[in-house]
């Protein structure tokens, strides 16, 4: 029983990060059919924002030294700002472009962010120590898990609940969900396009920033490429979750995380390095089974 | 309205002009370029072949593929399997079947055989994946790339895993790669004007109408997928024989995204766009690199800090796409008459 | 298209300009095809700097064969194809010897270009057996020590000095270097009587979480004496942090790649962590000359070395110059012959041996650096009891 | 003073002209039927007014403000509410959320609850399942929902593309009763696209006939009903 619980916790710890990422991707995808490949770079950007720009090897932590009560809102704000800025500077001018063009632009934007970071911080990973007293194990129903991991899970769920509340109970949320599903119709009902898109980008940036904070706390490292793998999994989760379905994205993010943990646990040693091959084969099967996504809203037709 | 020419005459000029452009670049390189510049041009030609391979599938089907770097990988590794001296293979790649590890094919043999292997793999995965359309298909191709990468990066006895495979004869130069790029352009051209190409483009533009009129979209996509995999595999072979070293990391996300970017910037639905996208973006990159090294302009040395090139190329691509969302050429092709560009009526 | 042609012409003209960029006719020219941008830059730059220090020393002492050494450089931009071009570019610039990027994968294209041109090449700090005869050709060398030696060193040292009897192997399959460390460990482990490998697992450097791998270790009873971690930054720091956060206190061993204190903030108060290093950047090297070098380096660059990977750059110029001096010529074959005669050739950072089979160190003296209370220091010195045979390295 | 005035607009999809110089004008409280065969440009006309497609020439104004070239949300704010073809129910939203979506732009917030009551009265089925996902509704039920949704926006002018599509005759009657009631009580203006002219003749009001992107006939619905010219215009007899 304990073993099962332990696997469950491990799966949640991995999955919850993917879920947050998938939500960030799905929000933007929903309102403007944009696969935002720069999302992973927002994550890295937020983490590096805690450090003084310097190509020295030893990182000088600046914002990262602030007490949590200041640090968290500042980093979240930075995430929202870079995300909104990229909307205003780049994506706004591409509203009527086809999805491939927007996707390539987002990739180019991510490339720019990466190389700007590279220029100001050099490529060597930097150490960040946030809240080191969280690095203690705790015991829950016999399963021993690091406090940090537990917090990651809790924080993820707090964020998810807060976001669900925002989406379900507020006017903004209602408009955003509607816009995610059928943008033109929502506009014909008076939903303001720019406001919804900006809000979506802001929320997506907040999510990127929270992933950044969680990752930085969990790994203690700032690395320019740190957001990329999460972005890719999140992207996959968004599609197999069903385009336009935010809960689908979250659930599939969790599922992919869980699947990778289960594969890690049950594959024999020799096959373990091939874990991702199994994972992505499962993704292909999943797509064949439900091309529109597992949780696609019934009325949603593929528009890409 | 000007008098329209016949479709064939109109389109035959396209591959001729494109190949002529590459030939001119090659001749200029041979006459004036340094050794390292010739390498740059070779790499551009290999990239042209790869992106033209992308065009065959993406341009005609409208489905974005993230997976074609996988075919490049398959082609490049196959080239290694067929051409590395048997002595080395027995030590470094002990898992290869006897018949392969004993073989040492000449370049041309390796080129054809390896490209066919890529096409064969495309046929097998395409049988499954080409049932999908739109973004689901795109994700499936990405998943395919991830699977290929994971397998090649870990199959110790056959691919040497993350370790580079060395000993591939470095025979790809400017002329070889020119041949490869020209072959790719011709294959793409003849495919596009074929019954298959027309049917697939019809399906791309009018999904339901095309299937109502009897176009089997699945079959057409599969054909185009296999042909494009052949061309991309070929570019992988050229790459392996160009660098002399293959490593799975070289055929993953980096090359996928930069090639897709060149393709989209050029114009996704145009063969000329695929070729010019590569040539123009590569040229800009090269010029920026010279600026990074420092360029003398009238006694003034202009030198950009290292790393500016990547930032600048990202910005340039965004600006081009903001002003020309359909890419530099959109759906147009370069043609002899109606200089410089004229709408092509074959579509 | 008109513009494209213009670009091509411009490009061709530019190519000409570049090739004219050669050094003084009388100098000996060292070509450096290393990464000055992209992510390899952080690894290449320090070693390149220390190579330049050695070159300056030689020039100050009257040069090599009575001639001054000058340097031509080209940026590989952390790109393989660009690496090959950088190699050709420095060869065009008249390089008599080519220094290539630290990592085998990124340095090999330039090294192959040098090999094809009949010139000697040195990897700045590659630690794969392929960085040499096996992966480039008979004119290629590396000045560092094989990754496998690091794994073997940690295994034998921990067994002999720390009485470790149970090992757990955690391999990061991301890059070849990591596998090299674990391969070296696996070569050594069977020769350690009654030592046992109690478990194995793998991960990938950029995994967002290694929770499942950690659970597998924690479920062991008793806990292993030592965990042989074969990984590099940034994944290594992340895994170490997660291991300690999960309450696993076993000794952790790794290769030299995680030397340095720059990342230790990731795991404050880290204890019981050991890596092998060629020299100490912490000012406590048993050889005072190393500390003096660190100071010279700091004077030149504004800060002391950040990892031991600064050192092989110095070593490579050192051994190459000695071989040239002995051969009395720059002729590649003659210099290679002299290099291959070196047996335990003393250098500032440990002895070097080359022979006609291996242009690399399959045995080497290592200092053992311990991190305790979050601070690293040198605690011991170890040389593996026998060199790792070529067959084991090529397996 | 006319509420809606469409002046000489043309709409092109690529090279294809969907509308060619169409003009209509509507007064407040008026009912206008737009009929015509498939592909006549009826839906395009509505989309152009809504701002979902951009006319290549001509202008449209609503309540004295030029709306052509304005984004759809702007047009909606001026009191234009639309039921487009193909329904466009938000499947992942609940029925009530669908209904409330359009209320964000209303100035008369106090009347929202009352209007919701009215919609639920007309379509009791929606009230029964108000917290259920809209995506699971049948075609006819979705049609009720989108009509209700358009009404909930509190429009001055409501445009409905084929209201009777998928509905039982009894429900169609109910829908029209409600619409006419609102027209009479609140001065709601009705712009209705129907492929057949039968309903127009029953209900009364003005009617225009579109064919090939042009208005070919215009007049009082009942008067035109018995006119041979309607049939001929509809099918294009007697031209060339």
Each residue's pLDDT tens digit, B133-176 = 888 898 899 999 999 999 999 898 888 888 888 888 988 889 99
Contact with chain C for residue B301, Cβ under 8 A: no
**Reported confidence tier of residue C80, pLDDT bands at 50, 70, 90:** confident
Residues C120 and C336 sit within 8 Å (Cβ to Cβ):
yes
C-alpha C32/C-alpha C71 separation (Å) is 7
The residue that leads in pLDDT, C56 or C15, is C56
Closest CA to D39 of D64, D11, D8, D62: D11
% chain A with pLDDT above 90: 24
Q: Is C67 on the interface with A (CB under 8 A)?
A: no
Are B242 and C4 in contact (CB < 8 Å)? no
Indicate if the alpha-carbon torsion angle B55, B61, B63, B67 is positive or negative.
negative
Q: How many helices (H) and strands (E) does chain B have?
A: 16, 6
pLDDT score for B6: 36
Query: What average pLDDT does the structure give for chain D?
Result: 86
Cβ distance of C212 and A261 shorter than 8 Å: yes
Q: Closest Cα to residue B334, out of B256, B288, B284, B280?
A: B280
Residue C60 neighbours by CB under 8 Å, 6+ apart: none
Residues of A in Cβ contact (< 8 Å) with B253 = 228, 232
pLDDT number for residue B4: 36
Same domain (yes/no): C165, C235: yes
pLDDT at C157 over 90: yes
D156 C-beta neighbours (distance < 10 Å), count: 18
**Nearest-angstrom CA–CA distance, D240 and D86:** 33
d(CA D63, CA D78): 7
Contact A115 B311 (CB under 8 A): yes
Q: Look at residue C381 and tell me if it is in a domain.
A: yes
Task: Please state, rounded to an integer, the average pLDDT across all residues of chain C.
Answer: 87
Residue A89: its H or E element:
helix A68-89
Q: Is the pLDDT of residue C15 over 70?
A: no
More confident residue, B197 or A133: B197
Residue D204's pLDDT is 82
Least confident of A40-49, A172-181, C146-155, C289-298: A172-181
Indicate whether B2 pLDDT > 50. Answer: no
Greater confidence, B137 or B305? B137
Residues C246 and C336 in one domain: no
**Which 8-state DSSP code applies to residue C67?**
B
How many inter-chain contacts (A to D, CB under 8 Å) are there? 85
The tally of domains found in chain C comes to 2
Cβ-based interface (< 8 Å): residues of D facing A: 50-52, 71-73, 75-77, 81-82, 84, 88-93, 97, 100-102, 104-105, 133-136, 142, 149, 153
Q: Do the beta carbons of residue B138 and residue B63 sit within 8 Å?
A: yes
Query: Higher model confidence: residue B173 or residue A55?
Result: B173
Mean pLDDT lowest for which of A9-13, A95-99, A198-202, A275-279? A95-99
In this model, does residue B7 exceed pLDDT 80? no
Q: Between residues 206 and 265 of chain A, which touch chain D (CB distance below 8 Å)?
A: 244-245
> Is residue A44's pLDDT more than 70?
yes
Q: How confident is the model at residue A79 (pLDDT cuts 50, 70, 90)?
A: very high
Q: Do chains B and A touch by CB distance (3+ pairs < 8 Å)?
A: yes
Across the interface, whether the CB atoms of B140 and A108 are under 8 A apart is answered no
| List of chain C residues whose C-beta atoms are within 8 Å of the C-beta of residue B21 | 1, 4-5
The highest-confidence range among B173-182, C6-15, C173-182, by mean pLDDT, is B173-182
Enter the DSSP assignment of B337: S
For chain A, the average pLDDT equals: 85
At least 3 CB pairs under 8 A between chains D and B? no
Residues C134 and C161 in one domain: no
Q: Is the pLDDT of residue B301 over 60?
A: yes
Cα separation, C175 vs C245, in Å, equals: 25
Instruction: Give residue A132's pLDDT.
Output: 67
**A37: Cα separation from own chain's centroid:** 11
A107-137 pLDDT, tens digit each:
999 999 999 998 888 878 888 877 766 767 7
- Model pLDDT, residue D143: 85
Res. C22: pLDDT tops 70: no
User: DSSP secondary-structure letter at C350?
Assistant: S
The pLDDT value recorded for residue B344 is 44
The Cα–Cα gap between D14 and A85 comes to 33
Is pLDDT above 70 for C13? no
Q: With the CA atoms of A71, A75, A78 and A80 taken in that order, what torsion angle do they form, in degrees rounded to the nearest 10?
A: -130
**C243-288 tens-digit pLDDT:** 888 888 999 999 998 998 888 888 888 999 999 999 999 989 899 9
With a cut of 70, say whether residue C18 has pLDDT above it.
Answer: no
Q: How far apart are CA A9 and CA A139, in angstroms?
A: 12
> Rounded to whole angstroms, what are the CA distances from D191 to A10, A36, A97, D29, D180?
59, 40, 32, 10, 12
Q: Supply D31's token pair.
A: 């009912």
C29 φ/ψ angles, rounded to the nearest 5 degrees? -110, 125
**Which of D164, D221, D229 has the alpha carbon at shortest distance from D31?**
D221
Q: Taking the domains of chain D in order of start, what are their residue ranges?
A: 2-235
Of how many residues is chain A composed?
Answer: 304
- Over the stretch D13-25, which tens digit does the pLDDT of each residue have? 877 888 999 999 9
| C-alpha span between D130 and A52 (Å, rounded) | 54
Q: Tell me whether strands D2-13 and D57-62 are parallel, antiparallel or unpaired.
A: antiparallel
Q: Quote the CA–CA distance of D81 and A187 in Å, as a whole number.
A: 11
Q: What does the pLDDT average to over D187-198? A: 86
Instruction: Map residue D52 onto helix, strand or coil.
Output: coil
DSSP C3: H
Sequence-ordered strand ranges (E) for chain D? 2-13, 16-27, 31-35, 57-62, 65-66, 80-83, 157-161, 189-193, 206-211, 214-220
Q: Is the dihedral of CA A70, A75, A80, A85 positive or negative?
A: positive
Residue-wise pLDDT for B113-136, tens only, equals 999 999 999 999 999 999 888 888
What does the pLDDT read at residue B9?
A: 46
pLDDT of residue A97: 83
pLDDT at residue D177 in the model: 84
Using the Cβ of B131 and the Cβ atoms of chain A, whether some distance falls under 8 Å is answered with yes
Lowest mean pLDDT among B59-63, B71-75, B237-241: B59-63
Q: What is the DSSP string of B96-158?
A: S-HHHHT----HHHHHHHHHHHHHHHHHHHHHHHTT--HHHHHHHHHHHHHHHHHHHTT-HHH
pLDDT exceeds 80 at position B315: yes
Q: Do A243 and B131 touch (CB under 8 A)?
A: no
pLDDT greater than 70 at residue B198: yes
A94, B322 Cβ separation under 8 angstroms:
yes
Q: What is the DSSP letter of B305?
A: P
pLDDT band at C9 (very low <50, low <70, confident <90, very high): very low
Identify the three-state secondary structure at position C20.
coil
Q: What share of chain C is helix, strand, coil (3-state, %, to 5)?
A: 45, 20, 35
Residues of A in contact with C261 (CB under 8 A): 58
State whether C234 and C120 are in the same domain.
no
Note the Cα C190 to chain centre separation in Å: 26
Closest CA to C130 of B126, D142, B160: B160
A178 CB near a chain D CB, below 8 Å? yes
Q: Is A302 on the interface with B (CB under 8 A)?
A: yes
* pLDDT > 90 fraction of chain D, expressed in percent and rounded: 25
Average pLDDT over residues D36-54: 88
The pLDDT-based confidence of B239 (bands split at 50, 70, 90) is very high
Confidence (pLDDT) at A245: 79
3 state SS of D157: strand
Q: Give the nearest partner residue to C11 out of B153, B242, B283, using CB atoms.
A: B283
pLDDT of residue A41: 95
Q: Are residues C190 and C251 in the same domain?
A: yes
Q: What is D2-235's CATH number? A: 3.40.50.300
Q: How far apart are CA C125 and CA C107, in angstroms?
A: 10
What pLDDT, on the 0 to 100 scale, is given for residue B263?
93
Q: How confident is the model at residue C25 (pLDDT cuts 50, 70, 90)?
A: low
Domain coverage including residue C26:
2-145+293-340
First vs last C-alpha separation in chain B: 18
Distance separating alpha carbons of residues C374 and B274, to the nearest angstrom:
54
**How many inter-chain contacts (A to B, CB under 8 Å) are there?**
136
Classify domain A2-289 at the CATH topology level: ABC transporter involved in vitamin B12 uptake, BtuC (1.10.3470)
Tokens of B336: 């002899």
More confident residue, D107 or A137: D107
Express each pLDDT in B14-53 by its tens digit. 888 899 999 999 999 999 887 778 888 999 999 999 999 9
Give me the pLDDT at residue B123, please.
97
Closest CA of chain D from A295, distance in Å: 10
In whole angstroms, how far apart are CA C52 and each of A274, B162, C138? Answer: 43, 31, 25
Would you state the structure tokens that stand for residue B259, as one six-digit string?
A: 């090639």
Q: Which pLDDT score is estimated for A300? A: 44
A193 touches D at CB < 8 Å: yes
Q: Is C223 on the interface with A (CB under 8 A)?
A: no
CATH code of the domain covering residue C199: 3.40.50.2300
Among B144, B176, B149, smallest CA distance to B161 is for: B149
Inter-chain residue contact A171 with D104, CB threshold 8 Å = yes
pLDDT reading at A50 higher than 90: no
Cβ <8 Å between B133 and A302 = yes
Nearest CA to A63 among A212, A218, A225? Answer: A212
- Give the model's pLDDT for residue A137: 75
Q: Cis ω on the peptide bond leading into residue B132 (within 30° of 0)?
A: no
DSSP string, B42-61: HHHHHHHHHHHHHIIIIIHH
How large is the average pLDDT for residues B191-205? 87
Please give the share of chain A, as a percent, with pLDDT higher than 70: 93
- Cα distance between residue B77 and residue B155, in whole Å: 12
């Amino acid at each position: 029983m304990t073993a099962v619980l332990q696997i469950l916790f491990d799966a949640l710890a991995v999955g919850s990060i993917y879920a947050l990422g998938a939500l960030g991707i799905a929000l933007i995808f929903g309102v403007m059919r944009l696969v935002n490949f720069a999302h992973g770079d927002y994550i890295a950007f937020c983490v590096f924002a805690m450090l003084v720009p310097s190509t020295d090897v030893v990182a000088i932590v600046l914002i990262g030294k602030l007490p949590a009560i200041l640090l968290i809102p500042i980093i979240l704000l930075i995430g929202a700002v870079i995300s909104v800025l990229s909307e205003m500077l780049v994506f706004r001018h591409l509203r009527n472009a086809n999805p491939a063009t927007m996707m390539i632009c987002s990739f180019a934007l991510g490339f720019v962010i990466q190389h700007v970071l590279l220029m100001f911080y050099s490529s060597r990973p930097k150490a960040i120590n946030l809240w080191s007293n969280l690095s203690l194990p705790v015991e829950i129903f016999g399963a021993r898990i690091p406090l940090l991991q537990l917090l990651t899970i809790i924080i993820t769920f707090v964020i998810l609940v807060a976001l669900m509340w925002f989406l379900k109970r507020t006017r903004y949320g209602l408009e955003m969900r509607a816009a995610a599903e059928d943008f033109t119709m929502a506009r014909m009902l008076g939903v303001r396009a720019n406001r919804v898109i900006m809000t979506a980008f802001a929320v997506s940036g907040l999510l990127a920033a929270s992933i950044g904070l969680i990752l930085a706390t969990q790994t203690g490292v700032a690395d320019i490429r740190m957001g990329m793998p999460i972005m890719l999994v999140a992207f996959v989760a968004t599609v197999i979750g069903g385009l336009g379905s935010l809960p689908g994205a979250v659930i599939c993010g969790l599922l992919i995380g869980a699947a990778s943990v289960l594969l890690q646990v049950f594959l024999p040693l020799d096959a373990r390095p091939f874990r991702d091959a199994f994972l992505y084969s499962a993704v292909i099967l999943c797509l064949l089974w439900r091309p529109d996504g597992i949780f696609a809203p019934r009325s949603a037709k593929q528009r890409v | 309205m000007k008098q329209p020419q016949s479709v064939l005459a109109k389109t035959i000029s396209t591959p001729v002009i494109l190949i002529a452009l590459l030939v001119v670049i090659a001749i200029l390189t041979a006459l004036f370029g340094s050794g390292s510049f010739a390498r740059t041009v070779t790499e551009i030609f290999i990239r042209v072949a790869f992106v033209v391979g992308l065009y065959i599938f993406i341009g005609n089907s409208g489905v974005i593929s993230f997976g074609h770097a996988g075919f490049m990988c398959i082609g490049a590794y196959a080239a290694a399997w067929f051409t590395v001296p048997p002595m080395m293979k027995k030590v470094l790649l002990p898992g290869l079947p006897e018949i392969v590890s004993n073989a040492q094919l000449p370049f041309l043999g390796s080129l054809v055989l390896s490209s066919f292997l890529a096409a064969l793999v495309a046929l097998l995965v395409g049988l499954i994946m080409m049932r999908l359309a739109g973004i689901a298909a795109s994700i499936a191709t990405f998943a395919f790339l991830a699977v290929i990468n994971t397998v090649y990066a870990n199959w110790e006895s056959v691919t040497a895993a993350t370790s580079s495979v060395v000993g591939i004869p470095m025979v790809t130069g400017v002329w070889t790669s020119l041949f490869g790029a020209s072959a790719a352009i011709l294959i793409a051209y003849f495919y596009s004007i074929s019954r298959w190409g027309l049917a697939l483009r019809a399906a791309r533009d009018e999904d339901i109408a095309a299937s109502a009129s009897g176009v089997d979209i699945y079959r057409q996509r599969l054909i185009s997928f296999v042909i494009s995999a052949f061309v991309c595999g070929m570019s992988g072979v050229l790459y392996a024989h160009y660098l002399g070293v293959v490593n799975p990391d070289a055929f993953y996300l980096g090359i996928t995204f930069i090639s897709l970017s060149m393709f989209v910037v050029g114009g996704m639905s145009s063969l000329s766009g695929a070729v010019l996208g590569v040539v123009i973006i590569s040229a800009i990159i090269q010029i920026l690199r010279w600026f990074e090294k420092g360029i003398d302009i009238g006694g003034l040395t202009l030198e950009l800090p290292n790393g500016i090139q990547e930032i600048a190329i990202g910005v340039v691509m965004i600006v081009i796409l903001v002003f020309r969302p359909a890419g530099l050429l959109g759906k147009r092709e370069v043609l002899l008459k109606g200089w410089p560009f004229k709408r092509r009526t074959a579509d | 298209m008109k513009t494209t042609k213009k670009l091509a012409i411009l490009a061709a003209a530019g190519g000409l300009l570049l090739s004219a960029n050669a050094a003084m006719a009388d100098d000996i020219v060292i070509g450096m095809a290393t990464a000055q941008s992209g992510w390899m830059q952080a690894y290449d730059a320090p070693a390149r700097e220390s190579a330049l220090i050695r070159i300056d020393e030689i020039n100050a002492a009257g040069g090599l064969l009575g001639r001054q050494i000058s340097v031509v450089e080209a940026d590989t931009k952390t790109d393989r194809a660009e690496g090959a071009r950088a190699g050709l570019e420095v060869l065009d610039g008249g390089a008599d010897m080519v220094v290539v990027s630290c990592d085998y994968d990124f340095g090999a294209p330039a090294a192959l270009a040098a090999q094809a041109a009949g010139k000697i090449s040195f990897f700045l700090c590659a630690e794969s057996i392929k960085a040499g005869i096996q992966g480039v050709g008979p004119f290629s060398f590396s000045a560092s020590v094989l990754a496998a030696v690091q794994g073997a060193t940690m295994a034998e040292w921990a067994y002999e000095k720390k009485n470790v009897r149970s090992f757990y192997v955690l391999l990061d399959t991301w890059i070849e270097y990591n596998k090299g460390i674990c391969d070296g460990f696996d070569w050594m482990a069977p020769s350690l009587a009654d030592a046992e490998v109690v478990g194995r697992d793998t991960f990938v450097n950029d995994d967002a979480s290694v929770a499942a791998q950690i659970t597998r270790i924690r479920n062991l009873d008793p806990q292993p004496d030592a965990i042989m971690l074969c990984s590099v930054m940034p994944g290594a720091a992340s895994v170490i942090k997660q291991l300690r956060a999960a309450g696993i206190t076993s000794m952790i061993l790794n290769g030299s790649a995680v030397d340095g204190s720059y990342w230790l903030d990731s795991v404050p108060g880290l204890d019981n962590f050991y890596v092998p290093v060629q020299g100490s950047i912490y000012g406590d090297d048993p050889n005072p000359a190393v500390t003096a070098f660190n100071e010279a380096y700091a004077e030149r660059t504004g800060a002391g070395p950040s990892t031991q990977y600064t050192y092989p750059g110095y070593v490579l110029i050192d051994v190459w110059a000695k071989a040239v001096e002995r051969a009395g010529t720059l002729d590649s074959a003659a210099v290679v012959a002299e290099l291959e005669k070196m047996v335990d050739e003393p250098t500032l950072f440990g002895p070097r041996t080359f022979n006609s089979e291996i242009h690399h160190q399959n045995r080497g003296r290592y200092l053992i650096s311990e991190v305790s209370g979050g601070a690293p220091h040198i605690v011991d010195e170890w040389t593996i009891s026998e060199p790792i045979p070529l067959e084991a390295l090529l397996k | 003073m006319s509420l809606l005035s469409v002046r000489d607009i043309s709409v092109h999809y690529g090279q294809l002209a969907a509308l060619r110089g169409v003009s209509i004008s509507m007064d407040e409280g008026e009912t206008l039927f737009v009929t015509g065969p498939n592909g006549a440009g009826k839906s395009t006309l509505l989309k152009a007014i809504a701002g979902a497609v951009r006319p290549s020439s001509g202008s449209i104004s609503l309540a004295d403000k030029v709306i052509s070239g304005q984004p759809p949300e702007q047009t909606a704010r001026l009191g234009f509410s639309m039921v487009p073809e193909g329904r466009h129910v938000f499947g992942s939203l609940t029925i009530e959320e669908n209904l409330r979506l359009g209320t964000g732009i209303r100035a008369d917030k106090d009347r929202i609850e009352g209007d919701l009551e009215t919609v639920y009265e007309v379509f009791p089925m929606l009230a029964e399942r108000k917290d259920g996902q809209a995506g699971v509704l049948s075609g006819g039920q979705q049609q009720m929902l989108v009509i209700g949704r358009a009404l909930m926006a509190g429009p001055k002018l409501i445009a409905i593309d084929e209201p009777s599509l998928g509905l039982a005759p009894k429900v169609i009657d109910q829908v029209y009763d409600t619409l006419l009631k609102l027209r009479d009580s609140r001065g709601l203006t009705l712009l209705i696209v129907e492929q057949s002219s039968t309903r127009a003749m029953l209900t009364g009001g003005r009617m225009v006939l579109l064919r090939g992107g042009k208005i070919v006939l215009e007049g009082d619905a009942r008067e035109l009903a018995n006119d041979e010219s309607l049939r001929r215009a509809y099918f294009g007899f007697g031209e060339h």
